[in-house]
């Protein structure tokens, strides 16, 4: 341990280099007896790990790109004991490229397993919103910072972190991995598409690919409620979801609280039959309410997805078993009325529409019409697809370099429709030969956005990615467990076949 402690000084990293950039600061210090606790489902695709009484080296690099007035920070944590000579980069969330509290938790857990681990803030800070950096001035988006979030910072991170590991341990990492969900999943997909040599293996959960579609789909239910000027109580929507699950759960032959096939459920379930039925103990009213026609309309619109003035579906909606009341169709209520919810995570699509599409932080979303919404959708596609859409299905170079990609998506994701991941896999299958040799996609019934929900966490997937990269063992199944009515179910996930 003494040797690595001695290496944890700035002088060890004096030869770091990043082409086209200036490294302005390198800090290195030892952290001893680290102990922390967090909800370990936030590891997404990795198992629980004890996280107490361990030491590590923190190397924090500040740099800027030529001709950019922007400081980017890459933070690498290195184990002082039992280093397995492998590197894991962790992805971001919302408009956070990384280096937030979630990433710190995930990195410390990686350290406890013997990995070096790294994150970048892309020069954006750690706020989940883009308020502080999106606009240079009203009408002018900071495209350099958006480009850093979308792609450039990711390759920078890979280049710098590998140098840090080499300088610290005397050898480059044997294998390097990316692991992220949501924004982090999109980042992983962008790496496979644009920087295919950056990582040997990529785990991408619930990826926010098809960025414009994802942002507008997250806002669609709010727009729909605004258009009909009706905002249902959350308890109405929760009752609708519960009724759908109760009706469709047996359709797969096992009553386990899980809807395995949302599309089949949607075909069979008559949501209109719920209008006028009573919801007891409504949390928003402290009493009973009847399910309104508006609540049924909102649920159906959320399941269906974005549609234009002619009724054409522009992007598919959410699974019928999704808790939409806690997702895109959430509302802010008192005991008598409800209103639009653009708080917290639903501020993310509002940010995109206001700051990047309208380019006006004061743009009034409450008065947005369907025609204006569709126009903004099309403008967003035209203006930003080449930067952040993350939709290129040609992964041939990633495949030829030996890279392996595992993605997963919860079928009860309340933020990003799993149908986007499914569609992307289909497109890669059409564009790239031998998809099963390098890319497997797993759909997880009952799983919400990255974690939570009624299904279990796919906690073996990252280990399976590593086995695929290092031993050539492709994942034919992945185990999952969950509890329903005090019974624990042990199931197997199978890779999606990509059939159109």
- Please check whether residue 266 is in contact with residue 303, taking contact to mean a CB–CB distance below 8 angstroms: yes
Look at the block and give the residue holding tokens 């959410």: 318
CA 131 to each of CA 69, 141, 182, 376, 483: distance values in angstroms, whole numbers, following the listed order: 18, 11, 20, 19, 40
**Choice among 326, 345, 449, 460 that is catalytic:** 449
**Choice among 413, 415, 441, 478 that is catalytic:** 413
What ranges make up the beta strands (E) of 66-115? 72-79, 86-90
477: tokens are: 């199944």
In this structure, the chain runs to a length of: 500
Is 413 a known active-site residue?
yes
Is 326 a known active-site residue?
no
The phi, psi pair for 276, rounded to 5°, reads 90, -10
Is 182 a known active-site residue?
yes
CA distance 481 to 459: 9
**Choice among 151, 153, 176, 182 that is catalytic:** 182
The phi, psi pair for 426, rounded to 5°, reads -60, -40
CA angle 211, 214, 219 (to 5 degrees): 130
Burial 341-379 (b: 16+ CB within 10 A, else e): bbeebbbbbbbbbbbbbbbeeeeebeebeeeebbebbee
The phi, psi pair for 379, rounded to 5°, reads -65, -40
* DSSP strand pairing (404-410 vs 201-205): parallel
Which has the closest alpha carbon to 185: 424, 357, 438, 386? 424
Task: Catalogue the active-site residues.
Answer: 182, 413, 449
């Amino acid at each position: 341990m003494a040797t690595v402690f001695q290496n944890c000084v700035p002088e060890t990293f004096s030869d770091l280099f990043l082409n086209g950039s200036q490294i302005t600061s390198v800090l290195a210090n030892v952290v001893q007896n680290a102990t922390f606790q967090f909800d370990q489902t936030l590891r997404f695709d990795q198992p629980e790990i004890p996280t107490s009484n361990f030491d590590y080296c923190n190397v924090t690099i500040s740099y800027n790109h030529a001709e950019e007035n922007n400081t980017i920070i890459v933070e690498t944590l290195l184990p002082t004991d039992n280093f397995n000579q492998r590197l894991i980069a962790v992805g971001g969330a919302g408009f956070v490229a990384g280096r937030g509290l979630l990433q710190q938790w995930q990195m410390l857990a990686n350290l406890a397993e013997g990995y070096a681990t790294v994150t970048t803030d892309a020069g954006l800070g750690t706020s989940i919103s883009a308020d502080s950096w999106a606009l240079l001035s009203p009408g002018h988006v900071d495209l350099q910072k958006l480009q850093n979030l979308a792609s450039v910072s990711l390759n920078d991170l890979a280049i710098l972190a590998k140098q840090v590991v080499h300088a610290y341990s005397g050898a480059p990492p044997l294998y390097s991995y990316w692991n992220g969900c949501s924004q982090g999943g999109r980042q992983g997909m962008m790496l496979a598409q644009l920087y295919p040599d950056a990582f040997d293996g990529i785990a991408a959960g619930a990826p926010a690919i098809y960025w414009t579609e994802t942002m507008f789909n997250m806002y669609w239910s709010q727009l729909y409620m605004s258009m009909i000027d009706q905002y249902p109580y959350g308890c109405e929507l929760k009752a609708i979801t519960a009724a759908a699950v109760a009706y469709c759960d047996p359709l797969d032959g096992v009553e386990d609280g899980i809807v395995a096939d949302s599309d089949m459920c949607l075909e069979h379930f008559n949501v209109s039959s719920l209008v006028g039925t009573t919801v007891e103990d409504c949390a928003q009213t402290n009493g009973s309410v009847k399910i309104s026609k508006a609540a049924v309309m909102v649920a159906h619109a959320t399941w269906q997805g974005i549609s234009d003035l002619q009724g054409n579906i522009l992007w598919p909606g959410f699974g019928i078993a999704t808790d939409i009341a806690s997702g895109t169709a959430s509302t802010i209520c008192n005991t008598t009325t409800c209103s639009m919810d653009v708080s917290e995570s639903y501020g993310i699509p509002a940010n995109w529409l206001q700051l990047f599409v309208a380019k006006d932080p004061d743009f009034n979303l409450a008065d947005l019409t369907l025609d204006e919404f569709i126009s903004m959708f099309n403008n967003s596609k035209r203006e930003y697809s080449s930067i952040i859409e993350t939709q290129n299905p040609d992964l041939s170079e990633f495949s030829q370099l030996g890279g392996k990609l595992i993605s997963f998506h919860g079928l009860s994701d309340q933020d990003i429709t799993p149908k986007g991941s499914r569609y992307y896999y289909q497109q890669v299958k059409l564009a790239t030969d031998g998809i099963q040799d390098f890319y497997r996609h797993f759909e997880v019934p009952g799983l919400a956005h990255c974690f939570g929900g009624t299904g279990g966490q796919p906690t073996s997937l990252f280990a399976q990615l590593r086995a695929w990269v290092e031993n050539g063992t492709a994942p034919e199944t992945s185990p999952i467990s969950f509890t329903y009515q005090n019974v624990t179910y042990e199931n197997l996930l199978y890779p999606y076949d990509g059939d159109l």
